[in-house]
């Protein structure tokens, strides 16, 4: 291999994952504790029309058309329950322009104190002189013992001329004629993105500090997913995993030989180990399990495999399924997630899966049709653009070994 030097490639795969949206949300499953943002709303995202001068999402008077925004009160995405802001109350602010706001976690005696992950509906904006693009932000988690941890995240632009999507989209937005070549309406698809960030769950969380104002990110809703504690869900098995989400995709597994006969639909199962970060390794999954979906409408052809999942961590497992005979593509199927032991590295541990039943998925991949609604469900395949970090001083080492050396210190 060529001795490339000074290559530091960015994690495009992560950006791609932010663009995917095809999801059958289930009314039954929605987890998490929404935080009350009402004291922090400081701008109006939803506009009633061209003459609505109160709406000013980005500081340049641009805004979303309210008639395309969901009315709520709640919105479920990736298995997470979000409280929607008052989009439809025309004289109330409905978005938080980030400016290092400190959002306290409820701390009365009934409240849950330990959390696994932070989830938000949010989007990147940019200054009047800037142009459409992603933003990177940093969250600061402050714990009741006075310690802090920071975590970075990336959030998609609220609109872009490139194909872009989000859990909530509108077909246009109101524009600023001065900045937008005389247009008062811009017909680029406009959206609200989803952000997910892990929280170290061993310590009680006191507050979350949003990013600096200079990062240009607007938040609509924030939900925290509780970890296993006395106040939250409790541990009932040696190893206790829980299903956060089961999501249908338009991706195929198999068919590598070019024939479509052995291609099966990919469904993604998101599993959490909600045990404390510092819990003993007996609470980690260290054995090999198959992940299958059981349903009247679909059958599992290629089980997912999970070999390891430590506490305070998450894994997304792809499972290959096929519609049963007579089940039409596009049917909503109710599925149950089942873990089955392959007998490897068991160590006699009792493994339990919570929230495994009654997930709705779209069975089968409907024929593609000419139009946005269909094309928008397309996702980058598993082999999509990705990269690894690489770097070496010129002439001294091969850059390709950077990642190996990084993880294998001698
Ligand atoms: C906006 O206001 C202008 C001037 O008052 C009026 O002529 C126009 O009809 C209004 N447009 C809409 C969409 O309400
Ligand atoms: C539109 O942009 C111009 C130039 O930045 C700015 O002066 C004006 O205030 C903006 N309009 C609104 C309604 O914010
Ligand atoms: C609970 O939170 C409030 C507001 O953040 C804070 O003033 C108070 O000291 C907290 N109480 C406890 C017991 O941590
Ligand atoms: C999309 O945005 C670009 C850049 O502002 C603009 O030139 C173009 O007209 C917009 N497209 C549509 C369909 O409105
Ligand atoms: C884990 O960390 C928390 C917070 O620092 C501490 O209270 C708890 O005792 C620790 N648990 C174990 C098993 O070490
Ligand atoms: C796990 O999946 C593999 C591959 O389909 C299969 O051969 C094996 O029998 C499965 N084992 C269990 C315990 O389900």
| Whole-number pLDDT of residue 21 | 33
Determine the Cα–Cα distance for residues 292 and 301; give it in Å rounded to an integer: 9
The predicted structure's pLDDT at residue 375? 75
- Ligand 2: distance of its center to the CA of 128 in Å? 8
Closest CA to 68 of 156, 186, 191, 184: 191
Ligand nearest the Cα of residue 207 is: 3
Nearest ligand 1 atom to alpha carbon 49: 13
| Residue with CA closest to ligand 3 atom 8 | 107
On the question of a cis peptide bond just before residue 73, with omega within 30 degrees of 0, the verdict is yes
Q: Which residues pair with 239 in a beta bridge?
A: 351
Name the residue with the closest Cα to ligand 4, atom 12: 187
Ligand nearest to the CA of 161: 4
Between the CA of 60 and the centroid of ligand 2 the distance, in Å, is 5
Residue 121 CA to ligand 3 center (angstroms) comes to 26
Q: In the structure, which protein residues have their CB atom closer than 6 angstroms to any atom of ligand 3? A: 104, 107
* Tokens 């873990």 sit on residue: 339
Q: How far is CA 331 from CA 118, 189, 379, in A?
A: 32, 27, 20
Atom of ligand 3 nearest to the CA of 207: 5
- pLDDT value for 356: 95
**Are the CB atoms for 86 and 92 separated by under 8 Å?**
yes
Which pLDDT score, from 0 to 100, does residue 376 have?
A: 74
Ligand 6 atom at minimal distance to the Cα of residue 343: 13
203 lines ligand 5 (CB under 6 A): yes
Pick the residue whose CA is nearest to atom 5 on ligand 5.
Answer: 203
Give yes or no for residue 49 CB within 6 A of ligand 1: yes
Write the secondary structure of 340-407 as one string of H (helix), E (strand) and C (coil): EECCCCCCCCCEEEECCCCEEEEECCCCCCCCHHHHCCCCCCCCCCCCCECCCCCCCCCHHHHHHHHH
Among protein residues, the one with the nearest Cα to ligand 6's atom 13 is 342
The Cα 141–Cα 209 span in angstroms is: 6
Q: Report how far apart, in Å, the C-alpha atoms of 52 and of each of 45, 56, 61, 159 are.
A: 11, 9, 9, 20
DSSP string, 65-106: EGGGS---SEEEETTEEEEPP-TT-TTS--BEE-SS-EEEPP
Strands (E), 165-306: 168-170, 173-174, 185-186, 190-198, 205-209, 217-226, 239-253, 264-273, 289-294, 298-302, 304-306
Asked if 134 contacts 217 with a C-beta cutoff of 8 angstroms, the reply is: no
Nearest protein CA to atom 9 of ligand 2, as residue: 60
Q: What is the DSSP string of 163-198?
A: ----SEEES-EE--TTTTTT-SEE-S-EEEEEEEEE
Q: Cα–Cα–Cα angle for 367, 373, 377, nearest 5°? A: 65
Q: If DSSP codes are grouped into helix, strand and coil, which group holds residue 214?
A: helix
pLDDT at 256: 58
Average pLDDT, rounded, for the chain: 86
Most informative mutation of 50, 51, 60 for ligand 2 (most atoms within 8 A of CB):
60
Nearest CA to ligand 2 atom 8: 60
Q: What is the pLDDT of residue 304?
A: 95
Q: What is the DSSP letter of 330?
A: T
Q: Model pTM?
A: 0.85
Q: Note the ligand closest to the C-alpha atom of 277.
A: 5
User: From ligand 5's centre to the CA of 173, what distance in Å?
Assistant: 49
Summarised one tens digit per residue, pLDDT across range 309-330 is 999 999 999 999 999 999 999 9
Sort residue 255 into left (φ over 0), alpha (ψ -120 to 50) or beta: left
- Residue 303: CB within 6 Å of ligand 6? yes
- Tell me what pLDDT residue 112 has: 87
How far apart are the CA of 278 and the centre of ligand 5, in A? 6
- 173 CA to centre of ligand 4 in angstroms: 11
Cα dihedral 190, 28, 207, 201 in deg (nearest 10):
-120
**List of the chain residues with pLDDT < 70:** 1-28, 163, 230-232, 255-261, 344-345, 381-389, 406-410
Tokens (6 digits) for 341: 């032991």
């Amino acid at each position: 291999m060529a001795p490339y030097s000074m290559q530091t490639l960015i994690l495009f795969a992560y950006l791609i994952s932010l663009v995917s949206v095809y999801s059958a949300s289930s009314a039954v499953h929605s987890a998490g504790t929404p935080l009350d943002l009402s004291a922090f709303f400081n701008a109006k995202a939803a506009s009633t029309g061209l003459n609505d001068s109160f709406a000013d999402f980005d500081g340049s008077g641009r805004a979303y058309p309210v008639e395309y925004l969901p009315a709520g009160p709640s919105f479920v995405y990736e298995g997470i329950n979000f409280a929607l802001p008052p989009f439809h109350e025309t004289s109330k602010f409905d978005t938080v322009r980030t400016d290092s706001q400190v959002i306290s976690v409820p701390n009365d005696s009934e409240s849950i104190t330990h959390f696994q992950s932070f989830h938000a509906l949010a989007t990147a904006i940019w200054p009047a002189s800037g142009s459409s693009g992603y933003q990177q932000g940093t969250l600061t988690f402050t714990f009741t013992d006075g310690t802090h941890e920071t975590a970075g995240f990336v959030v998609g632009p609220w609109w872009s001329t490139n194909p872009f999507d989000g859990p909530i989209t509108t077909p246009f937005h109101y524009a600023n004629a001065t900045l937008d070549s005389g247009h008062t309406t811009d017909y680029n698809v406009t959206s609200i993105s989803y952000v997910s960030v892990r929280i170290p769950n061993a310590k009680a969380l006191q507050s979350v500090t949003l990013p600096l104002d200079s990062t240009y990110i607007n938040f609509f809703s924030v939900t925290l997913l509780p970890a296993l504690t006395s106040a939250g869900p409790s541990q009932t098995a040696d190893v206790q995993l829980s299903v956060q989400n089961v999501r249908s995709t338009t991706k195929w597994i198999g068919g590598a030989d070019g024939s479509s006969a052995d291609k099966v639909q990919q469904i993604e199962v998101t599993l959490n180990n909600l045990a404390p970060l510092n819990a003993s390794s007996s609470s980690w999954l260290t054995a090999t399990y198959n992940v299958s979906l059981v349903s009247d409408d679909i059958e599992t052809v290629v089980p997912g495999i999970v070999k390891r999942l430590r506490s305070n961590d998450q894994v997304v497992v792809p499972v290959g399924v096929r519609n049963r005979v007579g089940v039409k593509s596009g049917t909503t199927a109710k599925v149950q997630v089942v873990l089955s032991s392959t007998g490897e590295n068991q160590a006699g541990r009792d493994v339990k899966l919570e929230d495994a039943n009654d997930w709705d998925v779209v069975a089968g991949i409907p024929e593609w049709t000419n139009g946005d609604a269909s094309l928008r469900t397309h996702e980058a395949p598993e082999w999509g653009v990705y990269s690894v970090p690489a770097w070496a001083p010129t002439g001294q080492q091969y850059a390709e070994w950077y990642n190996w050396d990084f993880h294998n210190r001698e």
